């Protein structure tokens, strides 16, 4: 790819970017949110067309005007945000668009062959699931593995993986790495986009760094340590991400007593979150952490037990009721559950407080814009204007818009479900700073995270969830990766 340039309304996303890779090479592309990584690969995959530049495959200039063009040339993308048809089953999703038929002259779906081939592809990625299962019923991690399987079913020679492990457990991630190594051995070229720098240095032969839509440099695998990658990404040294300089108070803001949820009816859940404290719910994907967040926010009912807020028993009947009680939830999937992508930044920030931007029954646009402008400045949201649709913001800035929506309500309890999923190191540091500022103001924070560094660095205490139950709690003194993993896998109990 030579001199690739791409513009969006008010944004120069790519400015003369060059990129190359060889047969059977794994090239990682890293950079902060908004650096242009996904945009560059969407140009390669036919999702976008470049405004300038040239693409060459095996030395010959080609035009890729659509996703279908990319497929014909052996290029497949696994997007950061899932693009599955959740009402179809696993096999139908894997072969969607290139389903096997009984014969070329008889275009009727051959379901037996469909499921046989789907099982073979699913086995390659370690996806242990009945291919007749409707995708809607799968966990986030398993849905991501269906995406990987679908790309492999195309027999692609150039495979682009955009944050492929963001929703995967360690076991699923290990299975994916085995697939990558095997594909490389078979001569498949792989572009690996990730914010998890440890994974990048493990899986990539070479690392290309983008910054502000331009080439910032590249690193061979042997010279790619954490510090060198971060310095190229952000243009400066980041010596410390986690600065927990606040001591939580003693008074309990949130308490769960013997709570029973529908997903694990035999387990009783209990824990406390104090004022200004960050309690992290750690555990494996599917352990039941998100289900706890949904119950607290009134999305799912509790079967038994009680929830107490500042000593008073409450029972949120729905999200509106939970917000009125003082809860806020930043969900795991910001694009599906946290934002209205085609709405402007201003409107997204005001979504949770519509009553506050009305005056005498009329929409107060000035109050709405003033509030949004204040939150954009406070949270350093990088946007060309308040009227910019959030669809065109980077992942990190989208996440900060979700946070701004809730923080303007000054919640008592903030629930963060994977708060830095798909967010670069620079935006992570900013979000961590905002979280610490909230604890200093007395907000109780319940954080769900699958990133071990985040769990160890940000938590005051960790409650480890195993199969729907609290396997144990760890304070700062006893907190270690080994202790968290032992509890998460059911190997021990901590007091």
Helix H or strand E encompassing 159: strand 158-162
10 Å CB burial of residue 441 (0-12, 13-18, 19+) is exposed
pLDDT band at 236 (very low <50, low <70, confident <90, very high): low
Instruction: Please indicate whether residue 246 or residue 277 has the higher confidence score (pLDDT).
Output: 277
Mean pLDDT of 252-271: 93
* Superfamily (CATH H level) for 2-234: P-loop containing nucleotide triphosphate hydrolases (3.40.50.300)
What pLDDT is stored for residue 256 in this prediction? 96
Q: How far apart are CA 45 and CA 71, in angstroms?
A: 8
pTM over the 0.75 mark: no
Q: CA 321, CA 75: separation in Å to the nearest integer?
A: 47
Let me know: does 381 contact 345? Beta carbons within 8 Å: yes
Of 77-86, 186-195, 396-405, 436-445, minimum mean pLDDT range: 77-86
Q: Confidence band (pLDDT; 50, 70, 90) for 10?
A: low
Report residue 36: phi and psi, to 5°: 110, 10
pLDDT tens track for 186-217: 888 999 998 788 888 889 999 999 988 899 99
Look at residues 110, 178, 176 and name the one whose alpha carbon lies nearest to residue 147: 176
User: Of 71-85, 301-315, 372-386, which gets the smallest average pLDDT?
Assistant: 71-85
- The pLDDT value recorded for residue 422 is 72
- Tell me the average pLDDT of the chain: 87
User: Across residues 410-432, what is the average pLDDT?
Assistant: 85
β-bridge partners, 473: 463
Domain locations in the chain? 2-234, 252-488
- Which residues, 6+ apart, have CB-to-CB distance to 183 below 8 Å? 152, 159, 190
- CATH superfamily for 252-488 is P-loop containing nucleotide triphosphate hydrolases (3.40.50.300)
* 252-488 shares the fold of 2-234: yes
In this prediction, residue 220 has a pLDDT band, given cuts at 50, 70 and 90, of very high
pLDDT band at 495 (very low <50, low <70, confident <90, very high): very low
What is the C-alpha separation between 273 and 193, in angstroms, rounded?
36
């Amino acid at each position: 790819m030579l001199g690739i340039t791409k513009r969006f309304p008010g944004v120069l996303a790519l400015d003369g970017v060059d990129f190359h890779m060889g047969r059977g090479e794994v090239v990682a592309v890293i950079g902060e949110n908004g650096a242009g990584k996904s945009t560059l690969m969407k140009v390669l995959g036919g999702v976008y067309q470049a405004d300038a530049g040239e693409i060459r495959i095996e030395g010959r200039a080609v035009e890729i005007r659509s996703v279908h063009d990319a497929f014909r040339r052996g290029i497949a993308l696994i997007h950061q945000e899932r693009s599955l048809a959740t009402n179809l089953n696993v096999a139908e999703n894997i072969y969607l668009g290139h389903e096997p038929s009984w014969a070329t002259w008889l275009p009727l779906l051959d379901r037996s062959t469909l499921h046989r081939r789907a099982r073979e592809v699913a086995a390659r990625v370690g996806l242990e699931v009945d291919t007749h299962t409707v995708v809607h019923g799968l966990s986030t991690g398993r849905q991501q593995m269906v995406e990987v399987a679908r790309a492999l079913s195309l027999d692609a020679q150039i495979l682009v993986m955009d944050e492929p492990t963001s929703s995967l457990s360690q076991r699923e991630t290990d299975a994916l790495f085995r697939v990558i190594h095997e594909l490389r051995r078979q001569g498949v070229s792989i572009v690996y986009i990730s914010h998890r720098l440890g994974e990048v240095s493990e899986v990539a032969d070479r690392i290309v760094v983008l910054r502000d839509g331009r080439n910032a440099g590249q690193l061979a695998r042997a010279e790619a340590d954490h510090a060198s990658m971060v310095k190229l990404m952000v243009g400066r040294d980041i010596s410390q991400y986690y600065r927990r300089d606040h001591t939580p108070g003693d008074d309990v803001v949130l308490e769960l007593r013997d709570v029973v949820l529908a997903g694990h009816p035999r387990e009783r859940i209990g824990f406390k979150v104090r004022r200004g404290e960050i309690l992290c719910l750690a555990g494996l994907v599917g352990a039941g952490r998100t289900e706890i967040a949904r119950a607290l926010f009134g999305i799912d009912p509790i079967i038994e037990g009680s929830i107490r807020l500042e000593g008073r028993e409450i029972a949120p009947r729905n999200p509106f009721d939970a917000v009125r009680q003082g809860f806020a939830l930043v969900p795991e999937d910001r694009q599906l559950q946290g934002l209205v992508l085609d709405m402007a930044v201003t409107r997204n920030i005001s979504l949770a407080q519509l009553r506050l931007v009305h005056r005498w029954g009329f929409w107060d646009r000035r109050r709405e814009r003033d509030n949004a402008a204040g939150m954009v400045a406070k949270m350093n949201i990088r946007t060309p204007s308040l009227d910019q649709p959030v669809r065109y913001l980077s992942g990190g800035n989208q996440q900060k818009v979700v946070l701004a929506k809730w923080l303007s309500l000054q919640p008592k309890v903030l629930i963060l479900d994977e708060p830095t999923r798909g967010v670069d190191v620079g935006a992570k540091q900013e979000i961590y700073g905002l979280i610490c500022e909230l604890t200093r103001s007395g907000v109780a924070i319940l954080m769900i995270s699958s990133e071990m560094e985040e769990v160890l660095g940000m938590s005051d205490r960790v409650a480890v969830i195993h199969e729907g139950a609290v396997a144990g709690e760890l304070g700062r003194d006893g907190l270690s990766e080994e202790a968290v993993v032992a509890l998460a896998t059911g190997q021990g109990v901590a007091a």
